Structure 1
Amino acid sequence: MNLYSLLVVFEIFFLNNFFASGYNELVSVQQGIVRGRLITTSTNKTFRAFQGIPYAEPPLGSLRFQAPIPPKSWENTLNATEDPNVCYAIDSDSPKESEDCLYLNIYTPILDNDNGTKVPVLLWIYGGGFSHGTSLYSNFGPDFLIEKDIVIVTINYRLGPFGFLSTADTIIPGNAGLKDQAAAIKYTFDNIESFGGDPTKITIAGQSAGAASVGYQLLNQQNQGLFRAAILESGSPLNIWSFLDSNLSRSYAFDLAAKINGSQDFANNSYQLLNYLQKIDAKIIDEAATRIIIRPLPVIEVEHEGAILTNRQYTLLKDGDFIRVPTIIGTNSEEEIHQAANLTNLKNTLEKYEKTPEKFIPSDFIVKQEANISLVADSIKNCYLLNVADDEKMGHIVKFLSHSTFTTAVIKHTYLMSQYSDVYFYMFSYDGIMGNVNVTIKGADGVDHAEDPKYLFMKSDSSYSNEDLSKFPAEDVLTHYRLIELWTNFVKYLNPTPEPVDLLQNITWPMFSPNEPNYLDIDKNLIIRQKPKSPYYESWVRFYDEWAENPLTTF
């Protein structure tokens, strides 16, 4: 053993014996030794932060667009005391953008009575439409959640063309970003015990595209045994925006290359395309992606070793062919209320829909040949606008956009999944300042997309901060504590309300089932209700049953 190795061993031995084990800032993982740092929350609770731990090799050169491979070992102590690079994101100008971005952050509590007990783990996958997003501490600070004595893991994964380019064959099979997530889940399972986490008690969670990602990881049987629960906030693999048809994905791949060099002829050859794109500077690819309307998304892959999705996600859920673990899933009360921030645009949208009812038919709703398209369009239009007062019509268009873009798919996911697993459904209806969206309109509900994470994570970037809870109304802070209690109870006990407590108004959150579609309405009060978004959801089920071409992929 050389002198450096002896010094490292001594340092670990010294810290292990000088401090309680929870205070250790040096941790040994499979690849080497990691050095973290201590952070103190606004309530003076100290926790350990390990930021920028590589869970895969940098996906550079021949690894671009391909599945991740395990990270190499390192000799020197890895300094994990600040945010790592972020992945290239479409329409982003972050100076931290890099292809070398496959890192995760681990935040661990320091227990008051540390007897070596391993604690449950929450692994968070950020949203952003699969085209943007980061795991930066300023976006997803664990400070609030970690006070409930759980380990928090936040991960990066490749986005845009780097994460989701596909030629619909085995050359660039696609879903590299989802495979990154799976690699991060596996890395967490293999190493989290060194950080005080219990590998048998991992819950994967996410919001929007992060929630859809969680849904895709549930469909990936290679994850079997790596986590025991899931939380999906406002997203599902059944959402129209979470999936791209293979033909479109292949067209996108060649269109991207054409945007870089329009004179290059690839003869529709995937090998030539890959060879060309792997030699282009990443910034050039990133810039070209901003000039294409279509965004690369998860795809159904051709059968090959390493594929994680080879069948329709609707079929997999319907048949119970997924990892059956207890799940929390839900949506916000009006996911598209931000559309009402510009009333002129919203009025124009309403007029377009009224003038052309076919717009009411979602692009993934393939009408049967024998069906009358005008009848289908008018039926959906009437569901939202028939006998509605003029001053509420714009609100009802918002409602239609919320349902067709987000809510209906999430509810359908719940109905399908709850036939095989324990599922808790929620509707987040509390419209507070902490959500940071101040838009209302008559005829619509009030809570916009992406308001809920602001009640869970500490956010402290230049545009918004919730670090100081004293600046928010008491009802906001109460909702903040309630949401954290529900979510961390679930992470710990697989039950969001394991026993009656005053904070949660002594409610018991019942499970959802197709026969008893119970859900928790999270508003100023916590109320158990049935049939989320009724009667609209039931109408959509009827429309799909009567007029949509089968088999379905999304909903």
Structure 2
Amino acid sequence: MFLLRKLEGLLVRTKQNSSQFLSTSGTMSNPIVTVKEGKLKGATKKLLDGSTYYSFKGIPYAQPPIGKLRFKAPLPPKPWEGIHEAIEHGAVCPQADITTMQLVEGSENCLFLNVYSKSLQPDAKQPVMVFIHGGAYMSGSGDTDTLGPEFLIQHDVILVTINYRLEVLGFLCLDTADVPGNAGMKDQVAALRWVQSNIAQFGGDPNNVTLFGESAGSASVTQHMISPMSKGLFHKAIAQSGTCLEDWSIGRNAKERAFRAARYLGNETENVDELLEFLQGEPATNLAHLTMKTRTPDEKFRGLPIHFTPVVEKPFDNVDRFLDEEPIDKVLTNKIHKVPLMIGYVSHEGLLMLADRLRKADLYNKESHYLVPRDIATKLSDEKRKEFGERILRFYTGDKGISSETAEAIVDMQTDLNFAYNTHRFAHYYSATNEPIYLYRFSFDTELNFIKSIAVGQSQVDMKGACHADDLFYLFNNEMNKDFIEKKDYLKKIVFDVTKLWTDFAKTGNPTPGDSSVRWVPYTRAGKEFLDLNHSMTPGHNPEGPRIDFWNKLYCDAGLPCITKSTL
């Protein structure tokens, strides 16, 4: 009897496993996959070439961070009974839409991820790519309205996209054991842990995970590279337009900002416990868009309006710290997870800020010290800040100042101080690890540059090149680019070529392996090799060299870590 029951149990498990992966035959429209917490029902979808892939949306990777769990590190997901429907996306996190500044209510129960795979066979061992969305740590989601999987998974990789808590809900820091900060980053860690535990069930290889992201998501990628919590959770990294060295990617005076947020909401307490109780009782939508309401007078004009961000956490017993040291110190001392790295920026990142800078031209021309980034400005006297501001303005515009006539120079300035310089700086320091680094500049300028078209409309100034976040439309399918790509073969080829670089890197650690028609040479300190991603995929050396040298001298002159002869 005992042996019979064992055989019956084995037969049941075999049937469960076979039904779990029956979807690979294309005969099952709603595949069932079993993960640690229970069963998931997904959907069968079509790629552009008509082939099949499998979609699992709205998978809970942590417990809902609601009530007394608000602002705290995520807890592991609880098991569920029956079959969890994973056909539609879960709720987005409460936020202010970064493009319209309209409140998006969403739900605090928003810690969901999405998995897309062409094969559910457990022995497929497909490379896994986990994407962290941008949006200034205050906006965005992993949903297919912008992050459709079809372009990437056509190359036989698995794509995972995630939600994480944003702005105050994700990045409030009270310098206490209960709210040490970085809840949103710990959400990302929880998602990566879920991938390690479960991705094999979707045909993925947990030992070949590439973490990639854009803008705040890119800075997040490099923060994971220095976080003790993220060690071993990924094996390659792609950083698109942002690093942990940017002044906008690390929070300062976070506790004071929390009290300013409460005062804006009508609470004048000076007690941390009362502050936490008050903020935990506020409707979630009241906590969205507080970045703009909590700026200091200086922050209204200096740098980017990104302030609820990752912080260096104070140590507390039995509390894991996502960031335990200043990012620059970790990078300088090689306290960093050593993985192959692809890193770069788009050619005209600063187009996104051009309209704002032109609107405030008189202010910046008169008060050029506001052009000095925060990490430098805090090290200087008022007199020195003024001197540095004049140097910046003169370097880019000569004696003409900020105006439509110098628009391209202003775009270069914003590109360099917010993205390009610290990309070069990060690559330079990271090269000490001897891990392969592939540096790029993204310059494609086609009908897919949707963010550029918006920026040009706002500033009434056009120029060649790619704007901040334009690269996303070459990597992810969505309603904006779908028709263009389906109707224009040359755009389809560009998308194929760009996504092949990304996925070949995910597969091999080299974006142009084997007999690729393009050879992308790894970055070295001596050669500063890079690939310009354009119609001809042009290799080169030292992009934006004189401009990078200018910023490097500013950092050196301010007494901050910079690229010196001793580090060459």
TM-score by length of 2: 0.86
Partner of 2:481: 465
Q: Partners in 2 of 1:314 and 1:401 — Cα distance?
A: 21
Residues 459 and 467 in structure 1, CA contact (< 8 A), matched pair in contact too? no
Partner of 2:110: 101
Q: Partners in 1 of 2:276 and 2:223 — Cα distance?
A: 25
- Cα distance, 1:39 vs. partner? 0.8
Letter in 1 for 2:523: F
Residues 123 and 152 in structure 1, CA contact (< 8 A), matched pair in contact too? yes
Partner of 1:29: 35
- Cα distance, 1:426 vs. partner? 0.3
Partner of 1:281: 283
Q: Partners in 2 of 1:281 and 1:375 — Cα distance?
A: 45
Partner of 1:433: 447
- Cα distance, 1:86 vs. partner? 0.6
2:344 to 314, 330, 346: 330
Residues 396 and 444 in structure 1, CA contact (< 8 A), matched pair in contact too? no
Q: Secondary structure at the match of 1:537?
A: helix
- Cα distance, 1:355 vs. partner? 2.7
Work out whether 1:64 is the aligned partner of 2:70.
yes
Partner of 1:251: 256
Letter in 1 for 2:177: T
**Residue pairs, 1:346-361, within 5 angstroms:** 346-361=357-372
Letter in 1 for 2:473: K
Q: Partners in 2 of 1:119 and 1:528 — Cα distance?
A: 30
Residues 21 and 32 in structure 2, CA contact (< 8 A), matched pair in contact too? no
Q: Partners in 1 of 2:191 and 2:202 — Cα distance?
A: 15
Partner of 2:299: none
- Cα distance, 1:322 vs. partner? 0.9
Letter in 2 for 1:513: T
Partner of 1:311: 325
User: Residue 370 and residue 275 in structure 1: after superposition, are their counterparts in 2 closer, same or farther (change >3 A)?
Assistant: closer
Letter in 2 for 1:15: S
User: Residue 378 and residue 445 in structure 1: after superposition, are their counterparts in 2 closer, same or farther (change >3 A)?
Assistant: farther
Q: Secondary structure at the match of 1:251?
A: helix
Q: Secondary structure at the match of 1:321?
A: coil
Partner of 2:418: 405
Partner of 2:430: 417
Letter in 2 for 1:269: N
User: Residue 533 and residue 349 in structure 1: after superposition, are their counterparts in 2 closer, same or farther (change >3 A)?
Assistant: farther
**Residue pairs, 1:158-197, within 5 angstroms:** 158-197=165-204
Letter in 2 for 1:186: R
The C-alpha deviation readout for 1:459-512, integer Å capped at 9, x for no partner, is 12xxx23255144472x33321211110000011110000233xxxx2211111
1:125 to 127, 132, 136: 132
Residues 42 and 468 in structure 1, CA contact (< 8 A), matched pair in contact too? no
Mean Cα displacement is larger for which, 405-414 or 119-128?
405-414
Q: Partners in 2 of 1:549 and 1:510 — Cα distance?
A: 30
Residues 95 and 104 in structure 2, CA contact (< 8 A), matched pair in contact too? no
User: Residue 63 and residue 522 in structure 1: after superposition, are their counterparts in 2 closer, same or farther (change >3 A)?
Assistant: same
2:44 to 11, 14, 38: 38
Work out whether 1:380 is the aligned partner of 2:395.
no
**Residue pairs, 1:400-549, within 5 angstroms:** 400-420=413-433, 421-436=435-450, 437-438=452-453, 439=456, 446-460=465-479, 464-472=480-488, 474=490, 476-501=491-516, 506-548=517-559
Unmatched segments (≥5 aa) in structure 1? none
1:300 to 312, 324, 336: 312
Q: Partners in 1 of 2:55 and 2:19 — Cα distance?
A: 16
Residues 62 and 278 in structure 1, CA contact (< 8 A), matched pair in contact too? yes
Letter in 2 for 1:385: T
Q: Secondary structure at the match of 1:418?
A: helix
- Cα distance, 1:332 vs. partner? 0.2
The C-alpha deviation readout for 1:267-286, integer Å capped at 9, x for no partner, is x3222211222233323333
Q: Partners in 1 of 2:339 and 2:27 — Cα distance?
A: 33
RMSD of aligned residue pairs (Cα, Å) = 2.9
Residues 167 and 289 in structure 2, CA contact (< 8 A), matched pair in contact too? no
Partner of 2:272: 270
Q: Secondary structure at the match of 2:504?
A: helix
The C-alpha deviation readout for 1:315-366, integer Å capped at 9, x for no partner, is 11111111110010000001021445x5xx6545444333333233222213
- Cα distance, 1:297 vs. partner? 1.2
User: Residue 467 and residue 76 in structure 1: after superposition, are their counterparts in 2 closer, same or farther (change >3 A)?
Assistant: farther
User: Residue 363 and residue 32 in structure 1: after superposition, are their counterparts in 2 closer, same or farther (change >3 A)?
Assistant: same
Q: Secondary structure at the match of 1:382?
A: helix
The C-alpha deviation readout for 1:386-418, integer Å capped at 9, x for no partner, is 277987522212211121122212221111112
- Cα distance, 1:291 vs. partner? 4.0
Residues 104 and 155 in structure 1, CA contact (< 8 A), matched pair in contact too? yes
- Cα distance, 1:7 vs. partner? 13
Residues 138 and 289 in structure 2, CA contact (< 8 A), matched pair in contact too? no
Q: Secondary structure at the match of 2:90?
A: coil
- Cα distance, 1:160 vs. partner? 0.9
Letter in 1 for 2:398: L
- Cα distance, 1:260 vs. partner? 2.6
Residues 122 and 201 in structure 2, CA contact (< 8 A), matched pair in contact too? no
Q: Partners in 2 of 1:530 and 1:143 — Cα distance?
A: 33
Residues 111 and 165 in structure 2, CA contact (< 8 A), matched pair in contact too? yes
Partner of 1:84: 90
1:236 to 243, 268, 278: 243
**Residue pairs, 1:147-158, within 5 angstroms:** 147-158=154-165
User: Residue 57 and residue 346 in structure 1: after superposition, are their counterparts in 2 closer, same or farther (change >3 A)?
Assistant: closer
Residues 23 and 48 in structure 1, CA contact (< 8 A), matched pair in contact too? no
Letter in 1 for 2:87: T
Q: Partners in 2 of 1:292 and 1:351 — Cα distance?
A: 24
Unmatched segments (≥5 aa) in structure 2? 296-304, 564-568
Residues 55 and 116 in structure 2, CA contact (< 8 A), matched pair in contact too? yes
Letter in 2 for 1:484: T
Q: Partners in 2 of 1:350 and 1:453 — Cα distance?
A: 30
User: Residue 549 and residue 254 in structure 1: after superposition, are their counterparts in 2 closer, same or farther (change >3 A)?
Assistant: same
User: Residue 76 and residue 146 in structure 1: after superposition, are their counterparts in 2 closer, same or farther (change >3 A)?
Assistant: same
Letter in 2 for 1:320: N
TM-score by length of 1: 0.88
Letter in 2 for 1:198: D
Partner of 2:19: 15
- Cα distance, 1:16 vs. partner? 5.1
- Cα distance, 1:95 vs. partner? 6.3
Q: Partners in 2 of 1:64 and 1:370 — Cα distance?
A: 40
Identity of aligned residues (%): 30
- Cα distance, 1:287 vs. partner? 6.8
User: Residue 352 and residue 444 in structure 1: after superposition, are their counterparts in 2 closer, same or farther (change >3 A)?
Assistant: farther
Letter in 2 for 1:481: F
Letter in 1 for 2:510: N
The count of residues paired between Structure 1 and Structure 2 equals 531
Partner of 2:335: 321
Q: Partners in 2 of 1:339 and 1:18 — Cα distance?
A: 50
